[in-house]
Amino acid sequence: MKNIIFLFLTFLSIHVYAQRSCGTDEYMKQKLQDPEFKAKYEARQALFKQEFKKNAHSANSKKVTIKIPVAIHFPNGNPSDRTCLEALSRRQMDVLNADFRSTNTDISKWSAARTHYPGINAGSMDIQFELATSNHPPGMGLTDGNPSVTVGYNFGNGSDTDANWAGYVNIVVKDIDGLGVAPLGGSPANGDATEIDHKAFGTDSGCGAIAPQAPYHLGRTVTHEIGHFLNLFHTWGDAGSCTEDDNVNDTPNIDNPTYGCATPGSVVMCNNKSLTMNYMDYPDDTCAYMFTAGQAARSLAYLNTIISEFKSGVLSNNHFESENSFAILSNPVENELRLRTANNILAKDATLQIFDLRGASVLKTALDGNLYEQNINVSTLHGGLYIIRVTSGSHKLHRKIIIR
């Protein structure tokens, strides 16, 4: 009888461990008890709401790729495994970018699954997560050209922030309770950490004790937690009731997570079919493959809110990238030219110059390389077609605009 009980308890413990878990809800409840943290959090959320409202009707505007500097930390990693850990980190970055850009191979499953979810579309975000390679914080033993991967560095002395790594999306890989935890609406300026269990980071074979294990072996735990960092709730909200929601219009209202690999459309809660393959639910890695368009819009609005917090000059591609470098929003232009640039591309001497069709310069102004979006007053110019030239160092790019 004792053996039967032992086997049952063993099975139960394995079963519980095999379910996805995320500590973000509990983490936020605890952190929001701190008045200073709460004030900063509410201030960022207020700015986010303004940004989200401002861009609610600009879904078809031309956008630029937003580059996000990432640093990955292995506090308990073995320095002799550095090469292996850097390769593991790059594989995780590949997963993260594919998932957020909706270029993951398993997004093809959505073609059949979407018949159960009319009106819901998969979301894509024109963002790129990159391991930083330049201007590393001092004292880390990292040189230019090497990726921002620390091995054996005690991030934040064991806390959830580190001022040395302010300006990055920080991912700390270590042994934790659950699979991952991240701040809801994280702050790069604060040096916030997203923590991932050492058995749920990366893909393929690992590096010693730091090795992904099924069913969390495809890097989707990081996708889930970075979703929180970019202000996404779990799909069931944070209260677990049919009256609560995740503040995203196109995700079905549900009251509980779904674990494992449920058949699309098979789980019904609150009279809705649960979007069981969504990254912000609790599926196994092999059955998680999409954000919705509404989730993408929410994350991009939050990213626009915190874009100035990212450290500049740390990415290898710190230069213009042809058509993706900057965009003119709301063209034709009335009174004010709204310019959006990819972060980390403008030199200190960057300028914007406007020419009429005769080639005469009619306006020239300096650009602020620390701003992601900036407005230029063109109310003194007559209506017509103009050429814009943005100059940054030795790079020059041109656009056409119409001023009404």
| Residue 86 annotated to the active site | no
Q: CA 328, CA 61: separation in Å to the nearest integer? A: 9
- Alpha-carbon distance values, 282 to 17, 168, 225, 250, 274 (Å): 13, 26, 11, 18, 11
Q: What is the mean pLDDT of residues 4-14?
A: 39
pLDDT > 50? residue 348? yes
Model confidence pLDDT, tens digit, residues 42-63: 999 999 999 998 776 544 444 5
Q: In the chain, pLDDT over 90 holds for what percent of residues? A: 67
Query: What is the three-class DSSP state of 136?
Result: coil
Q: Are 350 and 312 in contact (CB under 8 A)?
A: no
* Model confidence at 318: pLDDT above 90: no
Whether 294 has a pLDDT exceeding 80, the answer reads yes
Task: Count CB atoms within 10 A of the CB of residue 100.
Answer: 26
- What was the pLDDT predicted at 313? 86
- 308 or 231: whose pLDDT is higher? 231
CATH fold, domain 325-403, is: Immunoglobulin-like (2.60.40)
Most confident option among 51-55, 139-143, 224-228, 393-397:
224-228
Strand partners, 273: 268
- Rounded to an integer, the average pLDDT of 159-179 is 97
pLDDT digit string, tens, across residues 96-116: 999 999 999 999 999 999 999
Model confidence at 345, pLDDT cuts 50, 70, 90, reads low
C-alpha angle 98-95-373 in degrees, rounded to nearest 5: 55
Contacts of 265 (CB under 8 A, 6+ apart): 113, 115, 116, 117, 273
**CA 61 to centroid of chain Cα atoms:** 20
What integer pLDDT is reported at residue 322 of this predicted model?
45
* CATH code, residues 21-309: 3.40.390.10
Structure tokens at 342: 């990819």
What's the mean pLDDT in 385-390?
86
Model pLDDT, residue 64: 67
Return the minimum-mean-pLDDT range out of 45-49, 104-108, 121-125, 359-363. 359-363
Residue 267: pLDDT over 80: yes
| Res 96: pLDDT | 97
Q: Rounded mean pLDDT of 17-24?
A: 79
- How does DSSP assign 230-274, residue by residue? TTPPPTTTTT-STT---S-TTSPP-SS--EE-PPTT--EETTEE-
Instruction: Give dist(CA 52, CA 305) in Å, integer.
Output: 9
Report whether pLDDT(319) > 60: no
* CA 266 and chain centroid, separation: 29
pTM comes to 0.79
Catalytic residue among 26, 36, 225, 336: 225
Of residues 349 and 334, which shows the higher confidence score?
Answer: 334
Of 16-20, 147-151, 209-213, 372-376, give the lowest mean pLDDT range.
Answer: 16-20
Lowest mean pLDDT across 63-72, 122-131, 288-297: 63-72
Confidence at residue 100, expressed as pLDDT on a 0 to 100 scale: 97
**Structure confidence at residue 392 as a pLDDT band (50, 70, 90):** confident
**Summary mean pLDDT of the chain:** 88
pLDDT for res 203: 95
Q: What phi, psi does 161 have (nearest 5°)?
A: -140, 155
pLDDT score of 8 more than 80: no
Q: How far apart are the first and last CA of the chain?
A: 85
Domain ranges for the chain: 21-309, 325-403
> Residue 400 pLDDT > 90, yes or no?
no
Q: Which residue type does 281 have?
A: D
Across 121-145, average pLDDT: 94
pLDDT at 343: 57
